[in-house]
Amino acid sequence: MSLSAQAANPTSTLCTFLDAQLPQRDAIVEQWKDQLHAAPQAAFDVDAGRRWLGTALEIRLGLDLAGKPAYWELLSFLPAEQCYALLTAAGFAPPDYDHMPASGTTDPLLLDWNRVTCPTQCEDPTQRAALAACIDAANFDQLAHRLHAAPAAQVRRSFLLTFREAGAVQADENHPVFRGLHHMWRGYLRHARNELNQLGERTIISPPVAVGFAAADLSIGRTLVEVKASADPTEYLHIWLNQLLGYLLLDRFDIFCWDTIAIYLGWHAAIMAVPVEKLLTAATSSLTPALDHLRTEFHQLISKELDEAAMWYLQDRHPIPPQTSTPSRPGG
């Protein structure tokens, strides 16, 4: 059971530990609910799956916040021209190396992209096309998780062509996800971009917290951020808090130096954040527990599940070879 699944399961190792150590953490959830009333924009119904919309939003925000592109495991499914246009619209450009002969390649997967600007418009045709490209890429999220061996881009792009030949339509402004994603992108530009950028200069996309078990959405400065695309987040806030706490506890070597956790609500363009020290104090009725101590105790409880997840992760990517008979020696 992955960490995100454990966050929603009251009997999981994660929730059992949190109930014992941080029994009053719902106080933070109630604060977030109050903050939600002041959100700068509201949601509306779209005929699209929340996961698909959420993945498309993660891609677009990640391409705006980071200094270099990420999500290559998804962008590599896109045709080279569409991927190139997406990265250009997101504000990236490949450098010119004077000391190297021109190779003539234009395949975006072979170029070293760096940020040169940040888009400020949401109605520009290139920006709308970029949103559609994010939707196309998000469509391959589940397939990307199953492609353990990470095949070449030629193979990945062939999947997209196969899907379209089978009747799948390329995402455009008529796609059911587009209306929702455009609303979220516009709200982000107007209300949230500056606040998220002010969290810190270092942005890590999909920080791997535990191999095969947990990867967060964003690490910005010293803040752990989960991106969510639920139109009605109130019923999920306690699950997302559990999820954030799980990531925080799994970083037992303090690699990411998180001192704040946050949820970004895409529909509402709202950031719900709380300092870790304040959370630990509010979630307990006695002395505030030390984060290092909580991490050590949690690791002892969940270490078996971490080992199993790592084992399955490696076995999926490196299957056991079939047994072969030992060749007999001549004259033996």
For 11-35, the pLDDT digits (tens) are: 999 999 999 999 999 999 999 999 9
Higher pLDDT, 168 or 55: 55
280 close to 25: Cβ distance less than 8 angstroms: no
For 180-190, the pLDDT digits (tens) are: 999 999 999 99
For 232-289, the pLDDT digits (tens) are: 999 999 999 999 999 999 999 999 999 999 999 999 999 999 999 999 999 998 899 9
pLDDT value, residue 251? 98
289 close to 21: Cβ distance less than 8 angstroms: yes
CB-CB neighbours of 125 under 10 Å: 10
pLDDT value, residue 5? 96
φ, ψ for residue 22 (rounded to 5)?
-130, 60
Mean pLDDT of 104-120: 90
Extract the tokens encoding 314.
Answer: 């490696």
pTM of the model: 0.90
pLDDT tier, 146 (very low <50, low <70, confident <90, very high otherwise): confident
b/e sequence 38-66, b meaning 16+ C-beta within 10 Å? ebebebeebebeeebbbbbbbbbbbbbbb
Extract the tokens encoding 242.
Answer: 């559990």
pLDDT value, residue 161? 79
137 Cβ neighbours under 8 A, 6+ residues apart? 56, 59, 71, 74, 75, 77, 78, 86
pLDDT value, residue 328? 66
Extract the tokens encoding 285.
Answer: 């009725």
pLDDT value, residue 104? 66
Mean pLDDT of 168-179: 80
Q: Which amino acid is at 11?
A: T
pLDDT value, residue 55? 95
Query: By three-state DSSP, how is residue 262 classified?
Result: strand
pLDDT value, residue 217? 97
249 close to 283: Cβ distance less than 8 angstroms: no
Dihedral class, residue 150 (left if φ above 0, else alpha if ψ from -120 to 50, else beta):
left
| The CA-based dihedral angle spanning residues 230, 235, 240, 245, taken in that order and rounded to the nearest 10 degrees | 170
- Tell me what the pLDDT averaged over the chain comes to: 91
d(C-alpha 130, C-alpha 132), whole Å? 5
pLDDT value, residue 99? 67
pLDDT value, residue 82? 95
d(C-alpha 289, C-alpha 273), whole Å? 20
- Supply the Cα-derived Rg of the chain in whole angstroms: 22
pLDDT value, residue 247? 98
pLDDT value, residue 250? 98
243 close to 205: Cβ distance less than 8 angstroms: no
Residue 298 pLDDT > 80: yes
For 24-76, the pLDDT digits (tens) are: 999 999 999 999 999 999 888 887 667 889 999 999 999 999 999 999 999 99
Mean pLDDT of 177-203: 95
